[in-house]
Amino acid sequence: MSNTLGATAVPLKFMKDHLRAEAAIEPDPVATGAATKETQIIAIYGKGGIGKSFTLANLSYMMAQQGKKVLLIGCDPKSDTTSLLFGGRACPTIIETSSKKKLAGEQVAIGDVCFKRDGVFAMELGGPEVGRGCGGRGIIHGFELLEKLGFHEWGFDYVLLDFLGDVVCGGFGLPIARDMCQKVIVVGSNDLQSLYVANNVCSAVEYFRKMGGNVGVAGMVINKDDGTGEAQAFAERAGIPVLSAIPAHEDIRRKSANYEIIGKPGTQWASLFETLAENVGAAPPVRPTPLTQDQLLGLFAGDAVGRNVVLEPATQFDMCGKTEVVRETLEVVYDAA
């Protein structure tokens, strides 16, 4: 028995000594030199299918043509952010590549997950297969891997993050909650659902500002603008600027469906994205004023959102086909002494 205890004590003592030695190592000194490059990290949020990827692919392409060094990161489990940029081709995701490399006992390298076209660098975080994991957790894992690859040392002018705004779990709110970006841009249209998502994002920004966060909303991009004005009215009520209004035009829809970049200098739609690129770079992060549900509904006509419908409470008879028998409670209530 004593020999067993002695054998156990040796590795325990070794472990304690090792931990003490590790704790005694002084951390690297805080950098005091002037920053060599200031990177704007911008998170773009919006309802699924509203046109975030379309907007970002064309915006990042235009920025690169203007001489900026741009990194586009897709943070949507659908992994469709870079598909337009790469002409419909899918690039390997960080989640998928990391799993394969881990099984093979290899390390992930930059060239395994980051690809470029005409000056734009792009990658996809990816996500789990349906029913096999949490998309938000996949986002967190992806950023942890990016940090290991030196994310904070990369010398980009702009890092654009494409986030799905419908999902409200912690992983998708990471840039706002952890101050990982300086500002947020919302993409919406003249419909209630996309503005509901945009308002939720504004609410998240305002919540974390109250908690001491520094992220603000730089503005809104109105996509598929049909001129009805609800998105413009929302931006005004929320106190955020409209950075660009991209019209609902058949030529834009057709070219986007064919994976064509329309934000190229000298083309028909170039001025849209030239202005957007300028506005995105210059717009300061502001503290938004989220709308209440009634205020949001008030942007639309009553016949469009069903505000004339009266909510009628259900009864026990509706649910069970019989009238509920109300019995006296058996609880003893004592009078105050």
**Residue 44 CB neighbours (<10 A):** 27
Kind of pairing, strands 70-74 and 120-124? parallel
DSSP state letters, 207-270: HHHHTT---EEEEEEEEEE-S--HHHHHHHHHT--EEEEEE--HHHHHHHHTT-----TTSTTH
What per-residue string of b and e applies to 177-213 under the rule 16 or more CB within 10 Å gives b? beeebbbbbbbbbbbbebbbbbbbbbebbbebbeeeb
Q: How far apart are CA 272 and CA 281, in angstroms?
A: 14
Distance of CA 91 to the CA centre of its chain: 19
Q: Is 80 a catalytic residue?
A: no
Cα(307)–Cα(206) distance, rounded to whole angstroms? 27
Which member of 69, 78, 116, 264 is catalytic?
78
52 is catalytic: yes
Question: Strand 120-124 and strand 115-117: pairing?
Answer: antiparallel
Query: Is 47 designated active site?
Result: yes
| Burial readout 247-269 (b: 16 or more C-beta within 10 A, e: otherwise) | eeeeebeebbeeeebbbbeeeeb
5 Cβ partners below 8 Å, 6+ apart? none
**Among residues 52, 183, 224, 255, which one is catalytic?**
52
Helix (H) or strand (E) holding 188: strand 183-188
**145-157: burial string, b at 16+ Cβ within 10 Å, e else:** bbeebebeebebb
Compute CA 97 distance to the chain's CA centroid, rounded to the nearest angstrom: 21
Q: How many other C-beta atoms are found inside a 10 Å radius of the C-beta of residue 134?
A: 15
101 in catalytic set: no
The catalytic position among 80, 112, 157, 166 is 166
Active site residues: 47, 52, 78, 166
